[in-house]
A and B are shown apart, each in its own frame.
Chain A
Amino acid sequence: MTVPAEPERHRRSGRRSARRPQRKRGPVETTIGVIGELLITAGILVGLFLGWQVWWNNLVLSGQQTSAAQEQSKKWVDEATATPRPTPTDSTKPVAVDPPVMAQPADYEPFAVLYIPRLGPDWKRTIRQTVDVEKVLNSYTAGVGHYPDTQMPGEVGNFAVAGHDSGWGNTFIDLSKLRVGDHIYVQTKDGWYTYVFRNFEYVQPTQVQVIAAVPRHPDVQPIDRLMTITTCNPPFHAGERLIAYNVFQGFSPTQDVPEEIRAAVMGG
């Protein structure tokens, strides 16, 4: 008569683990259990945050920033080809005489698209006025900001821009891979400004002289057309700033897309 009792109990406990006969947990054990679960949860959250910061957010933002820049760039080119202006210049070579200089745009206005082939065959970002973190540098439609007190593309002086190094689209994560002579293209509604990479400088974040009209010499009258890119260094840390100086080489109208980036402009 004692036989059926055993299998009955086994069957039930196998089906529903919650009903398994167990010792009732005291308040101390319960508290420790909850604390343990909270700690595990916190660990998972930190891991998720790191994954988001280092990988996912960059992937999403980088794609969005690229397509936003693509759209803007293509719009200018399409508009220019739709209303062709007579261009007497030799379209294959950028002309090194006074390029058009646009007025300072309104804050947060997207006024240029930046192409740096060394950062990737399809690398492009929209440049917006100001270096506001929320509205420009972290924006999914921008990524690069123009220091409002510095000159405009092609202007005598210093066209200075900033962008993240790592995080928020990994804008300039490969900036340190630039080589002397690399081309940097800035497209505005007027056309293409070509700059040539000259040199790097590693400075403290407070060294504002790097974006002066004559970098490092705020009191000197500028005669050259320069472009300065500032970003964080090292990656995932904001301890220093990496500065890339570039020299103006030439200007070409919108219809004459520079050969090096023709695919990046037209494609996609």
Chain B
Amino acid sequence: MYGALWRILPGPVWVRVLILIVLAVVVLWALVTWVFPWVDSLLGPQEGTVGP
């Protein structure tokens, strides 16, 4: 999987590493912005309120 990704990427090693770093940052940003808050909302009520 990751091997295939590495082979698909163009350019010399440093270009590939650079692309991968950029990709990782984008993925992390998407996770923090959308995925993690969404997962957190699925984990059940944590709000600290009392209610019936």
A-to-B contact residues, CB < 8 Å: 18, 33-34, 37-38, 45, 48-49, 52-53, 56-57, 131, 133, 137-138, 145, 147, 162-168, 171-172, 203, 205-208, 210-211, 230-232, 238, 241, 243
Contact = CB atoms under 8 A, between A and B. Distances in A.
A162 B51 CA distance: 11
Q: Size class of B's contact patch?
A: 20 to 34
A53 B49 contact: no
Given A33-B1, A37-B1, A38-B1, A211 B50 contact: yes
For B7, B45, B49, B50, the residue with the greatest tally of chain A CB atoms inside 10 Å of its CB is B49
B27 to A, nearest CB: 10
Contacts of A206: 50-52
Contact of B50 (A33, A52, A164, A210): A210
Interface string B27-52: 01001100011011100111111111
B2 interface: yes
A101 to B, nearest CB: 23
B7 A164 contact: no
Given A137-B47, A138-B37, 10 more contacts: A48-B31, A49-B31, A137-B49, A162-B49, A163-B48, A205-B45, A206-B50, A206-B51, A211-B50, A238-B46
The 4 A-B residue pairs whose C-beta atoms are closest, nearest first, are: A231-B48, A232-B48, A162-B49, A37-B1
Given A33-B1, A49-B36, A49-B39, A208 B51 contact: yes
B48 A137 contact: yes
A208 B50 contact: yes
Contacts of A238: 44-48
